[in-house]
Structure 1
Amino acid sequence: MHGIDFIIIAAYFTGLLALGFFRRGSTETEQSFLLSGRTISLPAFVATLVSTWYGGILGVGEYSYQFGISQWVLFGLPYYVFALLFAVFLAGKIRENKALTIPEALAKTYKSKTGNVSAVLIFLLVSPAPYILMLGMLFRFVTGSDAHLLIFASLTALFSVLYVSISGFRAVIRTDILQFALMFIGFIVLIALAIQSAGPPRDIWSQLSETHQDPLGGHNIQYLLVWFFIALWTFVDPSFHQRAAAAKTPATARKGIFLSVGFWFLFDILTVLGGLYGFVILGEIDNPVLVYPELGAYLLPAGLSGIFFLTLLATIMSTLDSFLLISGQTIGRDLAAKLWKPEKSILLTRCGMLLSAILGIILIVIYPSVVTLWYVIGSVLIPGLLFPVLGIYLPVFRLQRDKATLSLIIPVLVSSAWMMLGTLTADDLYSYAFLGLEPFYPGLISAAALWYFGRQQTAE
């Protein structure tokens, strides 16, 4: 990278800070700070949802470099399906619900204790740790020093806390619009230069391995089904709920998700092509997770290198800042303020953001793998949250009020215990399956059983 690239990066961080201060209102309410007054327009809704839901850009590059077009089948298609179902069945109802957050909605539907327990689970679910780690990997790539990974990752995470804490969700929306534009501009430029270097996609097809050409990437149908189950994350993802609740109207929320799926499809095409061109142009590289930065460094001249670095940085930060706000409001507003000082909910939200960032930094020291962090967090927490959250809006999934809290806790304990047993008995360091079964499934089975018996007794 050259001097002009670093000037571009410095301008980006200055711009984020300016957007955080821009038009900050003199009066600050919970609804304005957490949901931008529930006035988000359709273009802003699409920009913030698209950019926020694509934070794992380095993991996407790693997978497409290794397994080719199956990236779209495994990481795209399942999420399109559940996002569209979310739009049809949940988005409008979430917008019409007066609750500002998932824990508040759970407390109103079931009991306050249920809301408190869910606040702890959601705080863990939206941990910013994977995105802090990816930021560190990016800066390590630029500086070439392992020592800089934790330093720059920590500084960037704390910077995100700064600009989001100024205006809350409004700052997230404004910066996400910028980050949305950078996502597409950077990858369009990268693919255009890759085509110029290696030829159009039809010319490189023959240079790919069978694994790259296989829609399942050499895996079986059972493996595909696993990813469909993991995509259930969409239904309990607080960023989806937050944006649906903040939309101007229920129709805005529904239309916005449909449009977002279209943009995700377009961006998936760009990211798949980026991985394939990285395989053809770069050949064997030491760390596939850095295929996009490696390809950008190889193809892009000064200036464009800085812009593409911002593309990757912005894609990660768009998710980081959203998760910091959600985790901050969950532990600060939905838990601490409810139990301690309700009138200090916004201040406690800001403190919660700082706490979340610090815990995320600690977590990347313990689990220095993006995939491991996603796997552990998702496998343990999603089974517990799924049925109680769906029950808020869909009566068929609703539990008895006195069963809801246990339905949150027991599946999490089952998945956690299964994961620990797998860790103790598996030969592979990164295997968590016990008796050949991934921990997600016992947790989901126990959650389904609790819902079934709860619903059956309700019906009686």
Structure 2
Amino acid sequence: MNSDFAFFDWLLVALYFFFLIWISWKKGWESEDSEEEFLLSGRKVTLPAFVATLVSTWYGGILGVGEWSYQFGISQWLILGAPFYIFSAIFAVYLAGKIRLNKALTIPEAIANQYSERAGRISALPIFILVSPAPYILMLGLLFQFLIGGDAPFLLYASLVALFSVFYITIGGFGAVIRTDILQVVLMFTGFIVLLIFAMAQFGGFGTLIESLPDGHMDITGGHSLQYILVWFFIALWTFVDPSFHQRAAAAESPETAKKGIFWSIAFWIAFDFLTCFAGLYAYAILGGGLEQPVLAYPILADEILPIGVKGLFFLSLLATIMSTLDSYLFISGQTLGRDYLLKYFPSVRPNLLTRIGILVSAILGIILIIIYPSVIDLWYVIGSVFIPGLLIPVLGIYLKPFQFPAKIVYASIIGCTLVSLTWLILGTVLPQPGGGYAFYRIEPFYPGLFLAILLWIYGRLRMSK
């Protein structure tokens, strides 16, 4: 299915991309002399900028959210919302202020300072993959394939957008990311508010909508089992090891700004979840329940009901939502590979240059990953299941004493737990599983790695108590 995009709609998209280039070029290379300025915008990020960049960055999976709300209704709030609200609030209370006061610029540097230099360097590789921009490159490829149509594969569009992001991020650093995120959070909300207004005008208000939906769409569980719902709470532990949370907390102008900023961000996420959830419900009501590609529920609905110009504005909101996460993850993964890993082996090269090289490598790896896993959900599942278990306790141990344990055991946690989860994933992939999926012996790959991490933590605490 292709979009009916007019010249004026394309003009808005072109202006958006030109603006990204201009705002990055304006930032220029002024941060070149200061690593802290390039990586953390000089630790001077104010509360409004903090909220804008965190809200937009943490909501990049917009097409996946649309697929969920279209298929399962209001359970989006319980399964894709509540776990992340809860763990973000815990992060704000117990970690945000401490991260701001920590002198480390990145998670691997903080691990190195807490445990050992080797532990920090080892952690850089799984963190580099954990923040891979692959899911967001994939979504942009699908979106542009829908807009442009023709026979060109989505991989071509995905590659072009990824390389464009590399270009403007390497110019301006984290300061450019923040400046573009402020624009993009405004576009996010504007686009979905406009879409809901037109949907209500065409179909009717919320009362009419709710009466037209099947019962399952108004079931808060979406028909899913308790065990399945709990899995998403474990996946939401990603919050504690996500470098974008750590980077923004470290970049805030004060510990209080970091704490308040996260709570304000949670409020904005709840509001945006309201918009996206009801947009998905209207997509089901207006388009019917038989979409071949539910992941394109939002774009197809917009193409169906929005006029010229307004349609372009909504697609800008989709682009902004995805691009805000893509550029942040590209930047963070690039600095993790370049500054936290390669610098040890190329000490004569400037850290900012290594970061820029890392950004390009991250984009290339992302393109390779979407060839292997051409599914947003699969990318989230595989990356999170393999790399979160081994990193979770060592990262918490940087700031919370009960989670601290000896450096030698940190190596085992990062390497061993990752290998266990990866092995479990491979076994679940190559050996046919009842009901499909990757759950070898009906156990998700996340759990064996987390179980080993807990055992290693208990063993380490016992050694420290002797």
TM-score (norm 2): 0.97
Offset of residue 407 of structure 1 = 1.2
Offset of residue 100 of structure 1 = 0.1
Deviations 1:393-446 (CA, angstroms, capped at 9, x unpaired): 001001112211111111111111111111222246951111111110111111
CA distance in 1 between partners of 2:456 and 2:126 (Å): 18
Q: 1:174 to 1:429 in 2, by over 3 A?
A: farther
Query: Does the alignment pair 1:418 with 2:424?
Result: yes
Partner residue, 1:152: 157
Q: 1:174 to 1:454 in 2, by over 3 A?
A: same
Counterpart pick for 1:323 among 329, 333, 339 = 329
Counterpart pick for 2:26 among 4, 22, 26 = 22
Partner residue, 2:350: 344
Partner residue, 2:293: 287
Partner residue, 2:388: 382
Indicate if the aligned counterparts of 1:422 and 1:431 stay in contact, CA closer than 8 A.
yes
Partner residue, 1:39: 44
Offset of residue 321 of structure 1 = 0.2
Partner residue, 1:446: 452
Counterpart pick for 1:456 among 441, 454, 462 = 462
Q: Secondary structure at the match of 1:138?
A: helix
Offset of residue 231 of structure 1 = 0.3
Map residues 19-168 of structure 1 onto 2, 5 A cutoff.
19-24=23-28, 25=30, 28-168=33-173
Indicate if the aligned counterparts of 2:31 and 2:38 stay in contact, CA closer than 8 A.
no
The 10-residue stretch of structure 1 (401-410 or 124-133) with the greater mean CA deviation from structure 2: 401-410
Partner residue, 1:311: 317
Offset of residue 202 of structure 1 = 1.5
CA distance in 1 between partners of 2:436 and 2:462 (Å): 39
CA distance in 1 between partners of 2:32 and 2:426 (Å): 48
CA distance in 1 between partners of 2:33 and 2:276 (Å): 39
Offset of residue 21 of structure 1 = 1.5
Indicate if the aligned counterparts of 1:139 and 1:148 stay in contact, CA closer than 8 A.
no
Offset of residue 117 of structure 1 = 1.0
Q: 1:428 to 1:373 in 2, by over 3 A?
A: farther
Q: 1:23 to 1:394 in 2, by over 3 A?
A: same
Q: 1:137 to 1:72 in 2, by over 3 A?
A: same
Indicate if the aligned counterparts of 1:296 and 1:308 stay in contact, CA closer than 8 A.
yes
Equivalenced residue count is 460
The 10-residue stretch of structure 1 (76-85 or 393-402) with the greater mean CA deviation from structure 2: 393-402
Indicate if the aligned counterparts of 2:433 and 2:439 stay in contact, CA closer than 8 A.
no
Alignment gaps of 5+ in structure 1:
none
Deviations 1:155-208 (CA, angstroms, capped at 9, x unpaired): 111111111111100000000001000000000000011111111112111211
CA distance in 2 between partners of 1:135 and 1:141 (Å): 10
Partner residue, 1:356: 362
CA distance in 2 between partners of 1:58 and 1:89 (Å): 32
Partner residue, 2:248: 243
Partner residue, 2:201: 196
CA distance in 2 between partners of 1:430 and 1:338 (Å): 43
CA distance in 2 between partners of 1:429 and 1:29 (Å): 53
Indicate if the aligned counterparts of 2:32 and 2:352 stay in contact, CA closer than 8 A.
no
What letter matches 1:3 in structure 2? F
Query: Does the alignment pair 1:12 with 2:50?
Result: no
Offset of residue 363 of structure 1 = 1.4
Query: Does the alignment pair 1:273 with 2:278?
Result: yes
Counterpart pick for 1:206 among 206, 211, 214 = 211
Indicate if the aligned counterparts of 1:20 and 1:163 stay in contact, CA closer than 8 A.
yes
CA distance in 1 between partners of 2:402 and 2:31 (Å): 43
Alignment gaps of 5+ in structure 2:
none
What letter matches 2:6 in structure 1? H
Indicate if the aligned counterparts of 2:92 and 2:262 stay in contact, CA closer than 8 A.
yes
Indicate if the aligned counterparts of 1:20 and 1:164 stay in contact, CA closer than 8 A.
yes
Give the RMSD, CA atoms, in angstroms.
1.2
CA distance in 1 between partners of 2:151 and 2:402 (Å): 51
CA distance in 1 between partners of 2:31 and 2:260 (Å): 32
Indicate if the aligned counterparts of 1:278 and 1:292 stay in contact, CA closer than 8 A.
yes
The 10-residue stretch of structure 1 (342-351 or 216-225) with the greater mean CA deviation from structure 2: 342-351
Deviations 1:46-91 (CA, angstroms, capped at 9, x unpaired): 0000000000000000000000000110000000000000000000
Where do 4+ consecutive residues of structure 1 move more than 3 Å? 427-430
CA distance in 2 between partners of 1:424 and 1:179 (Å): 41
Offset of residue 382 of structure 1 = 0.3
CA distance in 1 between partners of 2:263 and 2:195 (Å): 27
The 10-residue stretch of structure 1 (419-428 or 54-63) with the greater mean CA deviation from structure 2: 419-428
Indicate if the aligned counterparts of 2:99 and 2:250 stay in contact, CA closer than 8 A.
yes
What letter matches 1:365 in structure 2? I
CA distance in 1 between partners of 2:375 and 2:32 (Å): 42
CA distance in 2 between partners of 1:162 and 1:430 (Å): 40
TM-score (norm 1): 0.98
CA distance in 2 between partners of 1:127 and 1:428 (Å): 30
CA distance in 1 between partners of 2:44 and 2:31 (Å): 17
CA distance in 2 between partners of 1:114 and 1:350 (Å): 23
CA distance in 2 between partners of 1:181 and 1:98 (Å): 32
